[in-house]
Chains A and B, each alone.
Chain A
């Protein structure tokens, strides 16, 4: 399934990462998955949250630059070769992965992979013909929600 992902521009300096995190915490927004990409001078904090509209509003109201991108979330078996099984149909379809990150869920022996493709719909089509299992919205947020 496709999910909206928020990306936040942050300068690569002490004390900068915590600011958007504090804002989300104060707004009662739980971060389901995240990845932080960094360069020497700045970084991009990528977030998946349930109420992304609210998160975006909160961050932008506090001066953060936020963009929304569609990413794909798929299940992967938490064992050797699990990632290869997911990547194979992607390679077969000639698709390039812009970036990806993984996170573990609290249930079962599965992890979730988040993929960023240039064209998420084309990737969705390519993967639909494979055995790769998508994670749907309810699934993603229930797996990660606190007990």
Chain B
């Protein structure tokens, strides 16, 4: 299978050339998807023993998959499968053709090793060029790339694409908030790429340092690698005077660049010609129609070193069809509100951090730094939501703080259906992550 290379690599295709794929008529897109899928299925069957075993167990051959309509006949592949296959079990290309190795960030357990051939890197750069273009990033921009460089895909994924676009890249990587602020100001950054939780830290730090973010040249933020909410977007946009875009991706599929928001901000366009999305019922595995919420499942259509066929992402979202005012024909996925594995269970009740977030937002209108700590005393489970006191929460009057705490406790209980203690804590007392925010700290004594 051949795939055109991205600018800045071997073959000089301009960004304007690449984004044509965003506007393909649906029938044409469908032909591209079907042709690529057939290649992908054959590659998986021929090169990856796990796929062959699964196909044979299901009684199917590559010829049974002629179009994306046949996808539902294929078995799923899960994060567990990838862990079991660690490190090299799903490689479809020999190491002589592999030119880069990344790893998933290991948010939910052991990491997964992800190989790229040179053509895979070109696909990734193409995907990220298109995604950054969605966010309005162009050759005139100065991109401060605060995603971590290294095994994590965020740093290099943004880096090469921004360079390919002709933007000036500041490869600052994550961490060191004070330095980030100084660099942002002195280098005249117009675009910031980071996790949304890290950018919230930058907002706080800028305020402490007396730097007015709204007065800087920064105009666009591209935020991803963790779920965030519309309310967080509002807070970020207001505090920093920028337009905030959601970007989606995962190492197992390619890294960042699977989907991104356009300036209409009504969901993230999935680059469907490269990554085919399905929404399934997480319990039954049954495919769900557009508009219904379920678990996002992705099939790579143009990856050589590790083809993914029906990979269950664990991310809960829905797909929206229909034309976008921006003119793109690509379907949009709703912002990922939570992951199926973010779930924690307190006294038998299922709770998602996203529910707690919405409760916190409902009380003060902004999202403070928070953490959920699960403990166990004498066999009784306790969950405590620790919230760092923000300037607009704090008062010199105990009565006001007590009322706030009661209000938060009530709202959280309403949102999740079980009582969680709420504790106000000092600013900066909760652990900060440079990458993905870690919301749940489980200190219960559990067998296993």
Contact = CB atoms under 8 A, between A and B. Distances in A.
A69 B400 CA distance: 14
B396 A116 contact: yes
Contact of B398 (A44, A60, A61, A64): A44
A141 interface: no
A12 B88 CA distance: 51
A41 B423 contact: yes
Interface stretch (B58-66, B342-350, B425-433): B425-433
Contacts of A99: 397-398
A28 interface: no
A11 interface: yes
Size category of the binding interface on chain A: 20 to 34
A7 interface: yes
B396 A10 contact: no
Given A9-B389, A39-B402, A64 B396 contact: no
Interface in B389-407: 389-391, 394-398, 401-402
Given A9-B424, A9-B426, A41-B423, A60 B396 contact: no
Nearest to A62: B428
A65 interface: yes
Contact of A11 (B394, B398, B425): B425
B396 A69 contact: yes
B418 to A, nearest CB: 20
A37 interface: yes
Contacts of A103: none
Residue among B396, B425, B427 with most chain A CB within 10 A: B396
Contact of B426 (A7, A61, A65): A65
A142 interface: no
Centre residue among A42, A60, A61 by max chain B CB count within 10 A: A42
B208 interface: yes
Interface in A95-125: 98-99, 116
Contact of A65 (B391, B398, B423): B391
A64 B427 contact: yes
Nearest to B391: A65
Contacts of B391: 65, 67
A67 B429 CA distance: 18
Contact of B396 (A11, A39, A44, A61): A44
Nearest to A37: B398
B396 A5 contact: yes
Given A9-B389, A41-B424, A60-B208, A65 B394 contact: yes
A72 B425 CA distance: 29
Contacts of A60: 208
Interface string B218-245: 0000000000000000000000000000
A129 interface: no
A2 interface: no
A58 to B, nearest CB: 12
A39 B398 CA distance: 8
B397 A98 contact: yes
Contacts of B390: 65
Contacts of A116: 396-397
Contact of B424 (A42, A61, A64): A42
A65 B426 CA distance: 7
A11 B388 CA distance: 11
A46 interface: yes
A44 B399 CA distance: 11
Contact of A9 (B208, B394, B423): B394
A80 interface: no
Nearest to A7: B396
A14 to B, nearest CB: 14
A44 B397 CA distance: 8
Given A7-B396, A9-B389, A116-B396, A63 B401 contact: no
Interface in A55-93: 60-61, 63-65, 67, 69
B398 A67 contact: no
A61 B402 CA distance: 26
Interface in B410-444: 423-429
Contact of A64 (B397, B402, B426): B426
Contacts of A16: 426
Nearest to A46: B396
A46 B396 CA distance: 7
Nearest to B422: A41
A98 B401 CA distance: 14
A123 to B, nearest CB: 15
Interface string A1-28: 0000101011100001000000000000
A71 B6 CA distance: 65
A2 B397 CA distance: 18
Given A5-B396, A42-B423, 16 more contacts: A7-B395, A9-B394, A10-B426, A11-B426, A11-B429, A39-B398, A41-B424, A42-B401, A44-B397, A61-B208, A63-B426, A63-B429, A64-B427, A67-B391, A99-B398, A116-B397
11 contacts: A9-B424, A9-B426, A9-B427, A10-B426, A11-B426, A41-B424, A44-B396, A63-B426, A65-B394, A67-B391, A67-B395
